[in-house]
Structure 1
């Protein structure tokens, strides 16, 4: 059994080494393509208002929204001011990207964000929610519910007028085939005080690492397989 245990040790080390070098799963996570405008390549934009329904221009790519101010690069400009708190016609905007996912893998979504001083999400007792989330799903349809969601409330996590990096992590439950990276601005509205009212996001990243428990089960499977071969021999 010593040979089998040695093989398992090597296999486990290889698995953990692979996990530590987790690959980027998002395409256009930097939000730089195709450039200024209504479209964000490889991302789905979902924008609607409480009363008036589906709309456009809730979020755009803008050069001034790039976190580092690099020439030719962009960030996402969420337009809270298009909602109206007086009438209750609030703005709801999400950008999402689906990637293939596996149950038992721990996924982490990170990104940089800031809210301008008069962003409705920063008003005390506001209805506005500002979220970084991963939705785990068993299909690619975001309209029929999800298996589970992990979420970080960015305001509770310290959102302010400075660029800060935030993250959210969760393990994909049984049945998961899709991990949906999501940034949401919900129930947003114009601030009567005027001034800068935007919510801004840039440089998103999604990675997945097998949970230690899953790696352990795989190692046990290797043990069982090698042990069986030895007995057969």
Structure 2
């Protein structure tokens, strides 16, 4: 192997070590493509007020043909407070390892950058659904999307290194649009390409590196 080939191989190895092994997405139907009409498979649409909607929508997906779309409209409806959710809960024992951290990522945008009377959240709850640790809610991460700088163009949002609460065996991922009882406010929240993945352990990264170095050694022979 000449020096140019060796350097090229070295760069490939560095790239593999940096990227690490691909982690599986724990969420079903992450792009909301599967479903019937406004109902997305594997996601619950919860309308907690008289002046908003939650649906699977083809209006403005980031990729593919559909996204989730949550709206509040106090222009054409009563100005009543409400909370509107789309969420996924797969039941007990859906976290195979609660000793590792998890990353939650998604693409999102809004109809308007006027956030008067409105807030928007990404939320993950850690649950004990098999009852082995007393059952119920064990902890959560709740993040304001307005605080993260959501805008009228799709952006990537990453909530990294989320620590699973002690005693949890499962999760609930939720996106929420909330509105106060404020006149003449109107907005919509789009969510697409949601991913919940385990963070690779340092030991796993080291094994990837050793494997790549072994490839280099074989090529030198």
Structure 2: gaps of 5 or more residues:
1-16, 205-221
Give 3-state SS (helix, strand or coil) of 2:198's partner.
strand
The answer to which structure has the higher helix fraction is: 1
Q: Find 1:94's aligned residue among 71, 85, 104.
A: 85
**Contact 1:20–1:209, Cα closer than 8 Å, also in 2:** no
* Corresponding position: 1:48 with 2:56: no
**Contact 1:148–1:173, Cα closer than 8 Å, also in 2:** yes
* Corresponding position: 1:67 with 2:62: yes
The answer to which structure has the higher strand fraction is: 2
Counterparts of 1:76-155 in structure 2, within 5 Å, are 76-81=68-73, 87=79, 89-99=80-90, 100-101=94-95, 102-117=97-112, 122-123=115-116, 126=117, 128-139=118-129, 146-155=137-146
Q: How far 1:129 moved relative to its partner? A: 2.2
Give 3-state SS (helix, strand or coil) of 1:58's partner.
strand
Count how many residue pairs are aligned between Structure 1 and Structure 2.
180
Other-structure match for 1:11 = none
Q: How far 1:145 moved relative to its partner? A: 5.3
TM-score for the superposition, normalised by structure 2: 0.68
Other-structure match for 1:179 = 171
Give the 3 Å change call, closer, same or farther, for CA 140–78 of structure 1 in structure 2: farther
Q: Distance in 1 between matches of 2:75 and 2:138?
A: 30
Other-structure match for 2:195 = 205
TM-score for the superposition, normalised by structure 1: 0.65
Counterparts of 1:7-46 in structure 2, within 5 Å, are 20-37=21-38, 39-46=39-46
**Contact 1:84–1:190, Cα closer than 8 Å, also in 2:** no
Q: How far 1:34 moved relative to its partner? A: 1.4
Q: How far 1:113 moved relative to its partner? A: 0.8
**Contact 1:112–1:204, Cα closer than 8 Å, also in 2:** yes
Q: Distance in 2 between matches of 1:36 and 1:167?
A: 29
